[in-house]
Amino acid sequence: MSLIRRGFLWFIGALALGGSSRADEPKPAPSQPNPAPVISVRPRHVLCFLGRAHDLARLSEAARNAIGTVAKGFSVDTDYSQDEADDRMERSFAVCWDRVQPKAWTASDERAVAEHGSVLYVMGPPMTAETAVETSATALLLVQQLIQAGAVAVKGESAGIAHGLARWQELAAQAQAARQAVREAGDSLALGRICRLAFAKRPLEAKGYLESVGFHLVGLPEVYAPKSLGSERAVVALMDEVADEIARRGLEATLRERKASRSFASTYDEDEFKFNPYGIVRLQP
């Protein structure tokens, strides 16, 4: 069985556990970073679209049309998509809703999940650090088009993040505007930040730390910050600030200035979609 297929099986199984992030598992000691591993699997997006009853064919056709025009390299997964409700979805979305952005979802979004009648999975292509931001922007465009085609709820499985439909559409519109800035000025920082807010999950709580998952989807390491640095909101803002610094100034300069370290001691296996091959930046108390 391929690493990609095993990873898909893992996250399908995790749905039954409510989309567990595994953030409560013991973490390796931050003072003992391990060497950079040789990674054979590149990060990729797995997108979950919920539809109404018997809507799989229509959503699949819309996805394939979008893949043929604006999302080349993406593919519909026919093994796990289904033309019926999945009773694990309500619990999984409840765990995955974005709890950082105010009003990221509404009661109508929750009802749509509870009343869905079909499930479509779309896989993204393997990404390098250099192609991750552009591929993630394409994933947002695909999300936008599937919502227009009738998807009632959307979740990014590679980090376990869900937004309401209005928030997904807002992020997609922002990404398209930022893409124009990349074409005109070559500045991809804003686009990378929008894609990170769309597809990464934070904060996850571990013993003494708040953590991110999903920064690999824009080519960055995760950021782990001690809870002692402030309130949860303040620590999340710091995590985002550090990620912006890495994207703007580079990893080594950020590590030096922040007196931080990078570790590759992950609790995720290489064949799990949440595994970050770029490591973990650990901030100091």
Q: What is the pLDDT of residues 239-272, one digit of tens each?
A: 999 999 999 999 999 999 999 999 998 989 998 9
What does the buried/exposed string (b/e) look like for 120-143 if buried means 16 or more CB atoms within 10 Å of the residue's CB? bbbbbbebeeeebbbbbbbbbbbb
User: pTM (2 decimals)?
Assistant: 0.88
Q: Which two tokens stand for residue 243?
A: 């990620």
Q: Is residue 80 very low, low, confident or very high in pLDDT (cuts 50, 70, 90)?
A: very high
Identify which of 242, 65, 68, 41 has the alpha carbon closest to the alpha carbon of residue 150. 65
Task: Name the least confident of 6-10, 118-122, 241-245.
Answer: 6-10
Which stretch of DSSP H or E encloses residue 79? strand 75-82
Q: How many residues does the chain have?
A: 285
Which stretch of DSSP H or E encloses residue 224? strand 222-226
C-alpha dist (Å) from residue 71 to 13, 76, 109, 146, 184: 27, 11, 25, 12, 21
